[in-house]
Structure 1
Amino acid sequence: MSELPSGWTLTTLQNVASWSSGGTPSRANPAFYSGDIPWFKTGELGPRVLHHSEERISEEAVAASSAKVFPKGSVAIAMYGATIGKTSIFGVDAATNQACAVGFPEATSAEFLYYFLLSQERAFVDAGKGGAQPNISQGIVKAWPLALPPLGEQTRIVAKLEELLSDLDAGVAELKAAQKKLQQYRQSLLKTAVEGALTAPWREAQCKLAPPSETGAQLLERVLTERRAHWEARQLAKFKDQGKAPPKDWQKKYPEPAQPGTTDLPALPDGWVWASLDMLGEIASGVAKGTKRDGTVPVREVPYLRVANVQRGYLDLSDVKTIFATERDIEELTLVDGDVLFTEGGDRDKLGRGWVWRDEVAKCIHQNHVFRMRPYSRDLQPELISHHGNTFGKLWFQKAGKQTTNLASINLTMLRAFPVPVGPSHEQQEIVAQIQVQLDCLDRQELATDLAMKQATVQRQNILRAAFAGQLVPQDPNDEPASVLLERIHAERVERAKQPKARKSKQKKEIAAVVSQLIDVLAEAGDWVRAQEAFRRCGVSDGASTDQIEALYAELRALDKAGRLAVESVIDAQGRKLYEKLKLLAG
């Protein structure tokens, strides 16, 4: 920033908050993780305010480790790994692990510090050092520069940010809901298509004109004839290559196709029939990477398709690898236009996903974790078979697949038995045409929502950038300059540093005295009292050290657990916390 707004000053995070980090109690003592103190880890950071943690630790765990309890209103930022820069406000007194830097604001509100850290998230990520697990240090956090506005302007900035970001969040929520609805509609569309419901009106109109020249069952008979002819041609070619005459009754060795699994199949329209994938096309696995070969067999480098290239309903060809393969492998495994692809394994919900190959890459083969099905007849629509595999097949493969420790998989036997609905060829063509029209419309809507989501992200950054450049709200010349605020905080820190550190026993006595005095103050009031006012009457000023505040809050938690104290937050109409109030309970 070339010129700071009026009343602003350039400083560092170390000068606006007291920073520390947490620790991890020993896992050897289960009692350490059975307490009441929320213990946050870096993976939980991100929401604006944190109230609930995955794990909780005990007072004993804090005493026996480097873990600390930070007071409500502290702001944490992740320093390690994939979560670098994630930040949250503690909505409760809480501990955290050593991968978090925690600041207790002195020159800002918790909300202002949170929004500033949020605006710097990308920069913190870029500052990360290290290999597989980059990190930033607490020293980097403390030395991080910021332009600090006066306290009054900070309040106005936070109010404006919450107003603008609340509206933006509402818009993003609507976009996410729209994305979900579009995805649900896509699945519904494909389901009705492959089961014949989509073309029911078309089918009825066609029947009034003339009955179909061929039913799905008749088409299947033709395909099965083609299947047998294909097998016989391959057998004859094999005998010829071996220089042998076909043996007697060789046709009787024809392998009959697998029958479709018929459990829980939906009803099909008249003229449709269920078939197995094995009935409809030749199914093959691919080349295994790292296969050991005779060094005398020549190989050459060709592109090959991996599981990562085959997605559900599309092919991702942004990164196509190459492999050395023999001429025989290349001849048998080169993909041809119209091949239907299925993935063998991975996460259970990804089993059998796939799409249709349309010669996007010349002379491309496929690896053994990608199955291909080559239809025996051009009257079968490959896209329709693949849509069926990606909708009905998703659950079917999950049930049929085998699960190991880390991966799920299907095999050729399962794939051959996969049931596929077969309708008349002309209706298949009509289904594909109708699907494409609607999918094109869905694609346009999804692109529009994706663009709007990206624009919302950019708009969020623009709002934050404007806020911390002094461009979001006007400056007020009556505000106390930030430099004066920092001077006062510095003086208070210097004064505290001069004071001899109280021994723990002395500190406990002092805190006990404060708590006793606090009870008297609350008893005298007989009703709710603002926490800040109650602390002031007990001599706890705004300049109290973090250790004093932590110790005081620990005592208040004990009173709360004992049922002697009630703590309540006062919220404004926009859901923002204004202050907390305390009340002594009977007994």
Structure 2
Amino acid sequence: MKVSEKPASYINTLDTGRNMGCERLPHETDKKLIKFLPLENVVEIVSGFGFPKALQGKTDGELPFFKVGDISLAWNNGQRGLTKAQHYLDQEEALSIKARPYPKGTVVFAKIGEAIKLNRRAILGQPAIVDNNVMGLIPKEDMANADYLFYWTLTLRLGDISQATTVPSVRKSDVKQLPFPWVPLEQQKRIVAEIEKQFSRLDEAVANLKRVKANLKRYKAAVLKAAVEGKLTEEWRKQHPDVESASKLLKRILVERRQKWEEAELAKMKAKGKLPKDDKWKKKYKEPPKVDASNLPDLPTGWVWTNFEQLAEDIPNALKAGPFGSALKKSFYVPKGYKIYGQEQVIRDDPSYGDYYINEARYKQLESCAVKSGDMLVSLVGTIGRILVLPEDIEPGIINPRLVKMSLDFRIVDPIFIRAYIQSPYVKYLFAIASHGGTMDILNMTILKGIPIPLPPSEEQKMILDEFDRVATIEAELEKASSTNLLRAERLRQSILSKAFSGELTVEDEKGMENKCQTRQ
């Protein structure tokens, strides 16, 4: 099971001009045609209408009523046109609130609040009403093409135009004098066609990049699945039949653990001057429960079913849930001190995230919940079963009530292998059965202790982890190249728009373009 060693070969598809088609962006200029007119000369600038709650909620009707959320939804889905709304009105209802439907082709965007900074816009795909948090630009029929207008608005940074008040806002007076690059309508249409042709090439390159990322994600999932089932190292086992089996290793460690306990107990009795008369005192030792494997799948040779209690490090509080909420109130937080680790760090896979702390006195009260390097933190509420393995040099601290911390015996198992197993479809299925809460999924220590864990021999674990590292290296390389190329794609979009509205994006007829392509090929 291998993946390409050079994923960059798949993602270097956005070099300027080279993969955009057979030609680079045209450099001939047509600036003489452009006249920069005040925006109010080519569009009608309008605002939306208040939307009483009593009229909200209709899922069909004569007139769609679009809100800022509809613009964001379309933008995030890569859609330019607004066609399907979450609210509708009929003509009489629109008249009752004095709302005027705006025509198809109106360009709309948020005009108030933090949504302005998101810089999103859309075009009405049919006559519709917009709410009073939205501004609309209605193109005058003899002056502006709706698509040309839309693409021009993509060159604007609405946040820079807005008034810097407590609540940001864009007013009619802020936009009416913006210089609009007017050209005759037919030229506008040709420029739109050229923009869309160039954008379609960019979209194809970006889609290819996303496909590569999706393929790697599927490959990574396949590696994890094969690893915890033993298929990944099947050939390795055939070549190494004499390694110590996991069952022998586990038995040896558990025997050592019991001997250590007995020695400690004898030392305590001797210190008190009370030597035991028989071995009955040994019955006080609590053996970690064994796994009933009668209904579990067969494991590869050398593997054994185990559980967290057997794998835990032989120290107090090796398996520990976070404190009760009353023991860790927000009123106890301080600016600096001992860090509080919660689900925000686990979900982000970033132990450095967050700035919640407690003082030393509170830390000592909750020291049973303290963490150390190598501990495995498990999320319990909502986003359940996510795992963070704490690296070296972490800030000293404790877990909060939404986490469990597990200190595992490194002689038996590597927590990275356990993390991969917990992410497997089988364990997710077990969690789904056991974790249903009232309003969200919830795990607890009892559920986690009941999860059967397949344990490979130590040497085999090392081979599995080597493959994990290799995939992680490829993933990191791809992610870095992906980010670089996505930024490059966005710069190319802005370059195309800049050329389009400065007269540098000359449009050629199809025959001329075909001849140019053949010549260059």
Cα distance change of structure 1 residues 9 and 435 upon mapping to structure 2, 3 Å threshold: same
Report what 1:324 is aligned to.
359
Report what 2:433 is aligned to.
399
1:395 CA displacement: 4.2
Which of 150, 159, 178 is the equivalent residue of 1:114?
150
User: Are 1:462 and 2:495 matched, yes or no?
Assistant: yes
Cα distance change of structure 1 residues 9 and 283 upon mapping to structure 2, 3 Å threshold: same
**Greater alpha carbon shift after TM alignment, 6-15 vs 185-194:** 6-15
AA aligned opposite 2:63: I
Cα distance change of structure 1 residues 472 and 378 upon mapping to structure 2, 3 Å threshold: same
Report what 1:280 is aligned to.
311
Cα distance change of structure 1 residues 404 and 79 upon mapping to structure 2, 3 Å threshold: farther
Larger radius of gyration: 1
SS at match of 2:378: strand
User: Are 1:449 and 2:482 matched, yes or no?
Assistant: yes
Report what 2:63 is aligned to.
37
Cα distance change of structure 1 residues 467 and 235 upon mapping to structure 2, 3 Å threshold: farther
Cα deviation, 1:74-131, whole Å, max 9, x if unaligned, reads: 22112244543321112222222222212210121100111111222x4437736565
SS at match of 1:198: coil
AA aligned opposite 2:133: A
User: Is 1:32–1:58's contact at 8 Å kept on the other side of the alignment?
Assistant: no
1:60 CA displacement: 1.9
Report what 1:55 is aligned to.
87
User: Unaligned regions of 5+ residues in structure 1, if any?
Assistant: 294-299, 476-587
| Structure 1 residue runs of 4 or more that deviate by more than 6 Å after TM superposition | 230-237, 242-248, 261-264
SS at match of 2:390: coil
Report what 2:301 is aligned to.
270
**Structure 1 Cα separation of the partners of residues 97 and 290 of structure 2:** 64
User: Is 2:320–2:404's contact at 8 Å kept on the other side of the alignment?
Assistant: yes
**Structure 1 Cα separation of the partners of residues 300 and 460 of structure 2:** 11
If asked which structure has higher relative contact order (CA below 8 Å, sep 6+), I would say: 2
Report what 1:492 is aligned to.
none
Report what 2:111 is aligned to.
79
**Superposed counterparts of 1:240-251, under 5 Å:** 251=282
Cα distance change of structure 1 residues 464 and 128 upon mapping to structure 2, 3 Å threshold: farther
TM-score (structure 1 length as normaliser): 0.68
User: Is 2:48–2:133's contact at 8 Å kept on the other side of the alignment?
Assistant: yes
**Structure 2 Cα separation of the partners of residues 416 and 244 of structure 1:** 38
User: Are 1:6 and 2:38 matched, yes or no?
Assistant: no
AA aligned opposite 1:419: P
**Structure 2 Cα separation of the partners of residues 263 and 40 of structure 1:** 59
User: Is 1:356–1:382's contact at 8 Å kept on the other side of the alignment?
Assistant: yes
**Superposed counterparts of 1:117-196, under 5 Å:** 117-120=153-156, 122-124=157-159, 127=162, 129=164, 134-139=167-172, 142-143=175-176, 145-151=178-184, 152-196=186-230
User: Is 2:161–2:170's contact at 8 Å kept on the other side of the alignment?
Assistant: no
**Structure 2 Cα separation of the partners of residues 442 and 15 of structure 1:** 52
**Structure 2 Cα separation of the partners of residues 431 and 320 of structure 1:** 35
**Structure 1 Cα separation of the partners of residues 57 and 415 of structure 2:** 60
Cα distance change of structure 1 residues 31 and 91 upon mapping to structure 2, 3 Å threshold: closer
Cα deviation, 1:185-217, whole Å, max 9, x if unaligned, reads: 11211121122111111111223xxx33x2222
**Greater alpha carbon shift after TM alignment, 329-338 vs 376-385:** 329-338
Compute the RMSD of aligned alpha carbons: 3.6
User: Is 1:302–1:322's contact at 8 Å kept on the other side of the alignment?
Assistant: yes
1:228 CA displacement: 4.3
**Structure 1 Cα separation of the partners of residues 294 and 487 of structure 2:** 44
Report what 2:102 is aligned to.
70
Cα distance change of structure 1 residues 425 and 64 upon mapping to structure 2, 3 Å threshold: same
Report what 2:333 is aligned to.
none
Cα distance change of structure 1 residues 32 and 288 upon mapping to structure 2, 3 Å threshold: closer
SS at match of 1:308: helix
Report what 2:393 is aligned to.
360
**Structure 1 Cα separation of the partners of residues 284 and 393 of structure 2:** 37
**Structure 2 Cα separation of the partners of residues 258 and 58 of structure 1:** 67
1:255 CA displacement: 4.1
User: Are 1:218 and 2:252 matched, yes or no?
Assistant: no
**Structure 2 Cα separation of the partners of residues 362 and 292 of structure 1:** 18
**Structure 2 Cα separation of the partners of residues 187 and 42 of structure 1:** 37
> Aligned pairs, how many?
452
1:139 CA displacement: 2.1
> Higher strand fraction: Structure 1 or Structure 2?
1
Report what 2:375 is aligned to.
339
1:474 CA displacement: 7.7
**Structure 1 Cα separation of the partners of residues 502 and 266 of structure 2:** 80
Report what 2:26 is aligned to.
none
SS at match of 2:389: coil
Cα distance change of structure 1 residues 141 and 442 upon mapping to structure 2, 3 Å threshold: same
**Greater alpha carbon shift after TM alignment, 260-269 vs 424-433:** 260-269
**Structure 1 Cα separation of the partners of residues 124 and 305 of structure 2:** 58
**Structure 1 Cα separation of the partners of residues 83 and 294 of structure 2:** 48
Report what 1:511 is aligned to.
none
SS at match of 1:92: coil
**Structure 2 Cα separation of the partners of residues 260 and 217 of structure 1:** 12
**Superposed counterparts of 1:493-508, under 5 Å:** none
Report what 2:460 is aligned to.
427
User: Is 2:305–2:452's contact at 8 Å kept on the other side of the alignment?
Assistant: yes
**Structure 1 Cα separation of the partners of residues 409 and 68 of structure 2:** 55
AA aligned opposite 1:351: I
Which of 462, 465, 472 is the equivalent residue of 1:439?
472
Cα distance change of structure 1 residues 196 and 147 upon mapping to structure 2, 3 Å threshold: same
1:39 CA displacement: 2.3
TM-score (structure 2 length as normaliser): 0.76
Report what 1:495 is aligned to.
none
